Amino acid sequence: MDFFTAIILGIVEGLTEFLPISSTGHLILASKFLQIAQTDFVKSFEIAIQLGAVLSVVVLYWKKFFDLKILKKIFVAFLPTATIGFILYRTFKQSLLGNEQIVLWSLLLGGIFIILFEFFYRKKGKTIDNISTIPYKKCFLIGLFQAFSIIPGVSRAAATIIGGLSVKLNRETIVQFSFLLAVPTMLAATGFDLINSATTFSLDQIDLLAIGFIASFFVALATVKTFLNFARKNNFIAFGVYRIAVALLFWFLVLR
């Protein structure tokens, strides 16, 4: 990996982290397309640069992190992913992360699921339109949905958004909650990985991490604002179609 590819992967991360299309999946596929070997450092890089995108949420929504009610909701939703991620960390990094076939199947099946969900989804009755009023039980259920995103290609954003819509949050509220929930989730994932891997990094590799981090931060700033405006007025069928198209094109044009 060099500085150019680090910037490219940072841009990919910033564009995809908060969209229901799987940032981890796109980073793995981008690495494959750019012929970057899936070494332990590259796997750690793909985890760590997510912090750049997460920092954009902190900058844009910093006031909400001083609201104790909201912090409690985020913590409850974070618990399932934290528990499952801690238990399955080694399996995730050694067997799942970097596996293009798992990513492509997850993108394909996830795209089909999003389309079917939107086709059958009907908003019934009053929906929750304020994060601070989400019941703790529903926060925990959203967290369980998010836990599926440990599988590369599933998409943390898609899992939390579908989970939120299923328990009667409106689109804007669950998208914002998904943004906020990304902060402890990515902090924990990156922190845990760095504790286990950072001592093996060289100075050059730390520079690459910094470049990827900065690129993902600035791109994510624009993506967060754009996606929230999109979610207020649209469903997510287009993202389902996109996921299916990416999976099929990659199978036939890159892995053939």
What pTM, to 2 d.p., does this model score?
0.88
The Cα 26–Cα 246 span in angstroms is 9
Model pLDDT, residue 98: 62
Q: Are 41 and 193 in contact (CB under 8 A)?
A: no
* Distance in Å from the first CA to the final CA of the chain: 24
Model pLDDT, residue 131: 95
The per-residue pLDDT string of the chain (256 residues; one tens digit each, 9 = 90 and over) reads 788 999 999 999 999 999 999 988 888 888 888 888 777 777 778 778 888 899 999 999 999 999 999 999 999 999 998 888 778 766 665 666 667 888 899 999 999 999 999 998 877 778 899 999 999 999 999 999 999 888 888 899 999 999 999 999 999 999 999 999 999 988 887 777 777 665 667 777 788 888 999 999 999 999 999 999 999 889 999 999 999 999 999 888 776 6
Which residue range is the domain that position 204 belongs to?
3-253
Domain count across the chain: 1
The Cα 36–Cα 3 span in angstroms is 12
What DSSP string describes the chain? Answer: --HHHHHHHHHHHHHHTTTTT-HHHHHHHHHHHTT----HHHHHHHHHTHHHHHHHHHHHSGGGGG-HHHHHHHHHHHHHHHHHHHHHHHHIIIIITT-HHHHHHHHHHHHHHHHHHHHH----S--B--GGGS-HHHHHHHHHHHHGGGSTTS-HHHHHHHHHHHTTB-HHHHHHHHHHHHHHHHHHHHHHHHHHHGGG--HHHHHHHHHHHHHHHHHHHHHHHHHHHHHHH--SHHHHHHHHHHHHHHHHHT--
The Cα 247–Cα 98 span in angstroms is 15
